[in-house]
Amino acid sequence: MKKIITICGPTGIGKTGFAISLAQKFNGEIIGADSMQIYKYMDIGTAKPDAKERALAPHHLVDFLDPASDFDAGKFAAAADQAIAEITAREKLPIVAGGTGFYIRALLYGLFRGTPACETTLHRLARELEEKGSQHLHDRLAQCDPDAAQRIHPNDSFRLVRALEVYETTGEPISKRQQDHNFGENRYQSLTFGLTMDRVRLYDRINQRVDIMVDQGLLNEVQTLVDKGYPLDLKSMQSIGYRHMGMFMKGEVDFDEALRLLKRDTRRYAKRQFTWFNKEPGLVWVEPDKQDEAFELVEGFLGESLETI
């Protein structure tokens, strides 16, 4: 299997800078694994790598898709597969970096399904998971797919959500679809880093980043998207940041309240990401400013010297 580096973690923690450092050290190219940074014209609210950052290391699957286009984990895995093949053919190191857990999971382990995931169902189940807990989802799964429930631990939120989404959107138990499709796991040999830091510090970074986004013109970016013909009820425009500016533009809240809700919801999203990545197998947690530790681990993982930039 091809060797790749994967970097994941919550929003605002510094994944972009960490990935660029590894790319420069190990002659790598970065593949974005972010469900919002894929869209064109959505730069500020997605904290997309800017032109200066992209000049420091080649980036793929960033800033390439129309905001009205649909994209899912299956499409991401296929596009990332192609990018990885091209990068390795150039004798470069593929570095996957992003915070969208479903995308990373699909790339590393595959999706046991033949149809695209229903993002609406996934988001609803994710909210249900946050509000009612994983045991509630496990109890539901035991009713509709007892075979899967027997194999999936009540704390394995990823597989619980996936199994329920498959059943609700296809009408078939995931255990049957797994048997029919027989997808394998471990599609790549990945050294996977999870970036972490003290929650108080991270939440402070998030609050400051929101203020910076506003200063950079987040509201104007959303208005420009509307002027281009992308309505506020578009799926991509319902994401964090764009939804909140839209609430203000529609007169539902004043600007201070929109800003407060944006910071709150971003912090909550970061908390959900921590919960998600804590369940990932084989993940190596490291603080974003401990890059020397990561360098040593990468060198050992690769097992041979790569030409550095």
Q: Are 241 and 45 in contact (CB under 8 A)?
A: yes
Q: How far is residue 91 from each of residues 3, 84, 140, measured CA to CA in Å?
A: 12, 11, 47
If one counts the domains in the chain, the total is 2
174 and 203 inside one domain: no
Beta bridge partners of 272: none
Predicted confidence pLDDT, tens digits, the chain (309 residues): 899 999 999 999 999 999 999 999 999 999 999 999 999 999 999 999 999 999 999 999 999 999 999 898 889 999 999 999 999 999 999 999 999 998 999 999 887 555 667 878 888 898 888 778 889 999 999 999 998 888 888 877 878 888 898 889 888 887 776 554 444 468 999 999 999 999 999 999 999 999 999 999 999 999 999 999 999 999 999 999 999 999 999 999 999 999 999 999 999 999 999 999 998 888 999 999 999 999 999 999 998 544 443
The DSSP result for 2-18, as a single string, is -EEEEEE--TTS-HHHH
The whole-angstrom separation of Cα 36 and Cα 46 is 6
Secondary structure E strands in 34-91 = 59-60
How far, in Å, are 36, 163, 246, 262, 301 from residue 226 at the CA level?
17, 36, 10, 19, 46
CATH code, domain with 265: 1.10.287.890
Q: Is residue 301 part of a domain?
A: no
Same domain assignment for residues 210 and 255: yes
User: Do 205 and 167 have their domain in common?
Assistant: no
Query: Are the CB atoms for 161 and 125 separated by under 8 Å?
Result: yes
| CATH number of the domain where residue 135 is located | 1.10.20.140
Same-domain check for residues 165 and 213 = no
In a domain, 219, yes or no: yes
For residue 99, being part of any structural domain is answered with no
Letter string b/e over residues 284-298, b meaning 16 or more CB atoms within 10 A of that residue's CB: eebebeeeeebeeeb
Do 123 and 170 share a structural domain?
Answer: yes
117 and 156 in a single domain? The answer is: yes
Show which of 183, 218, 239 is a domain's final residue: 183
Residue at a domain's end among 183, 211, 245: 183
For residue 188, tell me if it sits in a domain: no
User: Is the same domain home to 178 and 232?
Assistant: no
In a domain, 64, yes or no: no
**Has residue 165 been placed in a domain?**
yes
158 inside domain: yes
Among 136, 152, 183, the domain boundary falls at: 183
Domain that holds residue 147: 113-183
Q: Which two tokens stand for residue 41?
A: 């014209």
